[in-house]
C-alpha cells in the first residue's frame, strides 16, 4: 500500500522537503491523473493540477517531509475535485448519456481497451465521493484507512462506499458486457 | 483481487500530463513569486505610512523623519565637502604653476647675475695684477 500517513505536528520542522521543480516533476502524474479520472476532461484536469501545485508552492515551507508532501497533494487534489464538482454542479451522468469519446480522450491503451473504456465511463458515472474513493483505491493503491484520512471520514464509511461502488461497477459491467468475475 | 479490480487498476493507472506541464507550473510559480515580492514592498510602505498619527506609529514616524533628515544633511554636507575639495585642488594646481614659473624666472635672473659678476671679476683681476701693469708700462 502506498504511504499516506499524516505527519505529526511535532515532526522535525527542518526536514528538507526539496526543490519545488523536482517535486512537480515527481508528482505531476499523480495529481494530474486523480483530476483527470475524476473530471474526465484533460484541460480541466490540467488546470486543477496547476492550481494544486500553486497552492503547494505557497505552502511548501510548512510541509515537514516528502511523505507529508505526497499526503498533502492527494488530499488537496481530492478536495479540489469535490469543490469543483460542487461549484460547476457536475451532473451525475447516466451511463447512456456518457460520450463514447471520453475514454479515448484520456489516452488509454489498456490490455482490454473496450473493458477499460467501459470502466472509465462507469467510474465517471459514480457519485463524487465514491468516484474519488475508487480512484484513490485503484489508481493510488491506497487502503481504506489511507483514503479515510485524505477525505476526513471514518474508515468504515470508506469501506462500505468502496464495496457498494465496486458491486455497482461489477453489476453494470456484467449487464453491459457479459460475465466478468 | 477480482478481475474487475484488476481492470480498474489498469483503467485508472497514472497518466503523464500534457507536454510542457512542468514548465507551465514553474512559470506560474515564478510569476506569483515576483507579484508577491512587489506586494510585500507595497505592504511594507503602507504599513509604515498607515495611520500616521496613531501613538504606536509615532516612534516609527520619528525614526523615518530622523533618517530622512540625516540623509538630506549628509547629502548636502557631502556635496559641499566635494565642492571644497575640487576648488582646493584647482587652487593647488594654480599655485604650483605660479611657483614653477617664478622658479624659472629666478633661475634666469641668477644666471644673468652670475654672468655679469664673472665678467667684472675678470676685468678687475686684469687691472690689479702688478706684473701685468709693469709689462704694460715696458
Q: What is the mean pLDDT of each run of 10 residues along chain A (181 residues)?
A: 43 51 94 94 95 93 90 96 84 45 44 78 88 95 95 94 91 72 48
Residue A3 lies in a domain: no
Q: What pLDDT sits at residue A16?
A: 44
Q: How confident is the model at residue B4 (pLDDT cuts 50, 70, 90)?
A: confident
Residue A11 lies in a domain: no
**CA A44 to CA A136: how far, in whole Å?**
19
Q: Which residue of B has its CA nearest to A43?
A: B18
Q: What pLDDT sits at residue B32?
A: 82
Question: What is the domain count for chain A?
Answer: 1
| A173 or B92, which is more confident | B92
Enclosing domain of residue A150 = 20-177
Q: Does position B52 have pLDDT exceeding 70, yes or no?
A: no
| A58 or B58, which is more confident | A58
Residue A77 lies in a domain: yes
All cell numbers assigned to B56: 504606536
All cell numbers assigned to A81: 475535485
Average pLDDT over residues B81-108: 94
The answer to whether A122 and A172 have CB atoms below 8 angstroms apart is yes
Residue A43 lies in a domain: yes
Which CATH number belongs to the domain containing residue A138 in this structure?
A: 1.20.140.160
Chain A nearest-CA distance from B4, in A, is 6
Residue A12 lies in a domain: no
- Which one-letter DSSP state was computed for residue A64? -
Q: Which of residues 134-153 of A touch B (CB under 8 A)?
A: 134-135, 138-139, 141
Q: Does position B48 have pLDDT exceeding 50, yes or no?
A: yes
Q: Does position B129 have pLDDT exceeding 80, yes or no?
A: no
Residue A1 lies in a domain: no
φ and ψ of A25, to 5 deg: -60, -40
Residue A79 lies in a domain: yes
Residue A15 lies in a domain: no
Amino acid at each position: 500500500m502506498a504511504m499516506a500517513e499524516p505527519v505529526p505536528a511535532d515532526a522535525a520542522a527542518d526536514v528538507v522537503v526539496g526543490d519545488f521543480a523536482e517535486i512537480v516533476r515527481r508528482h505531476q502524474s499523480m495529481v494530474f491523473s486523480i483530476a483527470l479520472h475524476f473530471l474526465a476532461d484533460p484541460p480541466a484536469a490540467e488546470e486543477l493540477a496547476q492550481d494544486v501545485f500553486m497552492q503547494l508552492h505557497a505552502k511548501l515551507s510548512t510541509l515537514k517531509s516528502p511523505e507529508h508532501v505526497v499526503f498533502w497533494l492527494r488530499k488537496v487534489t481530492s478536495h479540489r475535485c469535490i469543490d469543483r464538482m460542487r461549484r460547476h454542479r457536475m451532473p451525475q451522468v447516466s451511463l447512456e448519456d456518457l460520450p463514447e469519446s471520453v475514454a479515448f480522450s484520456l489516452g488509454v491503451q489498456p490490455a482490454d481497451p473496450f473493458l477499460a473504456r467501459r470502466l472509465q465511463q462507469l467510474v465517471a458515472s459514480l457519485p463524487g465521493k465514491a468516484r474519488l474513493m475508487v480512484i484513490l483505491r485503484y489508481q493510488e493503491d491506497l487502503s481504506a484507512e489511507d483514503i479515510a484520512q485524505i477525505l476526513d471520514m471514518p474508515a468504515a464509511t470508506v469501506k462500505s462506499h468502496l464495496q457498494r461502488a465496486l458491486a455497482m461497477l461489477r453489476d453494470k459491467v456484467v449487464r453491459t458486457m457479459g460475465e466478468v468475475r | 483481487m477480482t478481475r474487475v479490480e484488476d481492470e480498474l487498476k489498469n483503467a485508472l493507472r497514472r497518466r503523464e500530463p500534457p507536454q510542457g506541464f512542468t514548465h507551465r507550473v514553474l512559470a506560474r510559480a515564478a510569476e506569483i513569486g515576483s507579484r508577491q515580492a512587489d506586494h510585500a514592498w507595497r505592504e511594507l510602505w503602507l504599513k509604515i505610512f498607515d495611520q500616521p498619527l496613531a501613538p504606536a506609529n509615532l516612534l516609527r514616524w520619528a525614526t523615518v523623519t530622523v533618517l530622512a533628515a540625516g540623509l538630506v544633511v549628509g547629502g548636502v554636507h557631502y556635496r559641499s565637502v566635494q565642492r571644497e575639495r575640487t576648488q582646493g585642488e584647482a587652487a593647488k594646481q594654480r599655485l604650483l604653476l605660479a611657483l614653477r614659473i617664478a622658479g624659472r624666472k629666478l633661475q634666469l635672473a641668477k644666471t644673468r647675475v652670475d654672468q655679469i659678476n664673472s665678467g667684472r671679476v675678470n676685468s678687475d683681476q686684469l687691472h690689479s695684477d702688478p706684473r701685468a701693469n709693469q709689462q704694460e708700462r715696458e
